[in-house]
Amino acid sequence: MPFCEVSKCQNGVDATGNNGTKIFYRTYGQGPVKVLLIIGLAGTHSSWDPQIKALAGTITPNDAESPAGDRSSGEGGGMEVCAFDNRGMGLSSVPTKKSEYTTSIMAKDAIAIMDHLGWEKAHVFGHSMGAMIACKLAAMVPERVLSLALLNVTGGGYECIPRLDRRTLSIAVRFLKAKTPEQRAAVDLDTHYSKEYLEEYVGTKTRRAILYQEYVKGISASGMQSNCGFDGQINACWTHKISRTDLENICSGEFPISVIHGRDDVIAQLCHAQRLAKKLYPYARMVELHGGHLVSHERTEEVNDALLELIKASTSKISPYDWTNLPKKTSGWDTTPLARKSSPEGSRSSVMVDIIARLQIFLVFFFGLFMLAFEFMQRGEEMDGVASNVASPWDFNCNLEVDLGSEENAHIVYTALAVDKELQPDKVKRHMSVSKGKLSVNFEAVEARFLRASFSAFVDVLTLATKTIEEFGPKKE
C-alpha cells in the first residue's frame, strides 16, 4: 500500500508535528495535469470517488490492477489525481496529541505528498476541513498551486457552529449518541444531504435507503474514527484561521479559485463561504448549488463541471476580472470584525416549545463549542479581519437566536430574562431583542471567562423560562 512518510518529504517546510507520521494515499489516471484532493473531517480518500471518476476517468488506483476497459471510461483524460486519508483517519497515522492536528500541519502533510510524488505544481481541491487545509497550503506555497477549489468551506473557529434550528438540534444529539456504524450512517445522511434529495425515489427505493446501506458498508470497512483522530481533527477546525497575510499570499499566486457550496448545508453555513470568496476577489468565483454539505455527491455533475471549468481557466490564463462573478469591491479588504457580524438565518423549521428538553441538550452542546473557540481567542489569537490595530475593550462576542414559535412566547421569555441582570456590567454586556417570535441575544465581554459565565447563566434562565411555558402554557390537543 502506498504511504508517504511526512518527515522524509519536507522540502524546505517546517516538519513540526510530523514526527513519524505516515499518510496513506492513492493515485488515479496518468497525464501531465496533476490534481490533489483533500477530504474533510472524518472522511477518507474514497469520499472523492465521483470527482476522481470525472477527472482521472477511473476509480481504480494506479497501484491496483485495472479491470478491462475501466481506464477508458469517464470524462477525464490526461490527468493524474491523488486523494489521501488525513492524519487521524482511515489508514493514515493517528497522532495522540491534539497539538499535532492543525490545518497548517495537515497542509504540510499535503505538501509532503506532492514532494513524494515529484509534483512541482497541482490543482488543489478541498472539501470542508479539507478546504481549510487547502487554503493553508495555498498560503504557504502559492507558487505550487495552479488552481484552488474550496467546497463547503468556512473560516474555521466559531464559523464551524451550525444554525440553531430544529434540524441541527436533532443531528447534534444523534451524532453524540452514535456508537455503531448503523447509528453513524443514519446521522451522516442527514448531515451530508438535503432532505429533498434523500426523499427522492430511485426505482422502488428512496435515496436514503440506498445510501444508508452504502454508508454502513463504508463505515464498517474503514472503521469508526478513533477518539484521538476525531478530537484532533475537531481541534484543527476550531483553531483554523486565515489571516490577512494568508489571503494576500493566496492572491499573490494569481490562480483562479472556485468557492463551491450547497445552499442547504447545515454544517458549513453559506454566508461564511460567501464572505471568504469576497476576501479572495478578484480571483474567486462563487458557485452556489442546491444541495447539502456533501454537495460533491448530491450534485455530482454540476460540481465536476465546475472543477473542469476551473482547470480550463487555469490553463487559458483568463483575466481574474473575467473569471470572477462577484461584485466589484469598492474598498480594499473586508475589514468588518467577524465577531460583530450576525449570520443571516434562512427560513427554517421553528424550535417549538414542545421540544424544549432537546433544546437544553443542544444549547449545552454548543456552549461547549463556544468555550473551545473563545479559549483559543483568549490565548492571544486575533479574529480575522479586525479593522483597527487598537484593541477594543469588548473583544469577545457571540450571538444567539432562538425561535420560540410565537411572539407571545418570545416576549414572555424576554421579560423573564430581562430580570436577570449582569453582575459585572463593566465587564460583560447582553443585548436582547424580539422579532417575529424569535429572541435574539448579543453577548459582549472584555475577557473570554466573563463571556462563558454570562452565556452559561443565560442558558440556565432560558431553560427555566421555556420549561415554565411548557408546563403552564396552552396545551396542544
Residue 203 Cα distances to 194, 206, 211, 366, angstroms: 19, 8, 14, 39
Asked if 266 and 362 count as a contact pair (C-beta separation under 8 A), the reply is no
pLDDT number for residue 352: 40
pLDDT number for residue 455: 79
Q: For residue 148, which of 130, 167, 164 has the smallest C-alpha distance?
A: 130
Flag residues of the chain having pLDDT under 50.
Answer: 12, 68-69, 71-74, 331-391, 476-477
d(CA 470, CA 351): 13
Q: For residue 239, which of 77, 111, 369, 146 has the smallest C-alpha distance?
A: 369
Q: For residue 358, which of 173, 222, 167, 107 has the smallest C-alpha distance?
A: 173
pLDDT number for residue 260: 98
Asked if 26 and 83 count as a contact pair (C-beta separation under 8 A), the reply is yes
426: exposed, middle or buried (C-beta count within 10 Å: 0-12, 13-18, 19+)? exposed
Radius of gyration of the chain (CA): 23
Its sign, for the CA torsion 403, 409, 415, 416, is negative
Asked if 187 and 406 count as a contact pair (C-beta separation under 8 A), the reply is no
d(CA 140, CA 135): 9
> Which residue bears the cell 430574562?
417
Q: 103-117 and 227-238 helices cross at what angle (nearest 10)?
A: 100
Amino acid at 207: R
pLDDT number for residue 449: 77
> Tens of pLDDT along 239-281?
999 999 999 999 999 999 999 999 999 889 999 999 999 999 9
Q: Which three cell numbers stand for residue 6?
A: 511526512
> Tens of pLDDT along 412-426?
778 777 766 676 788
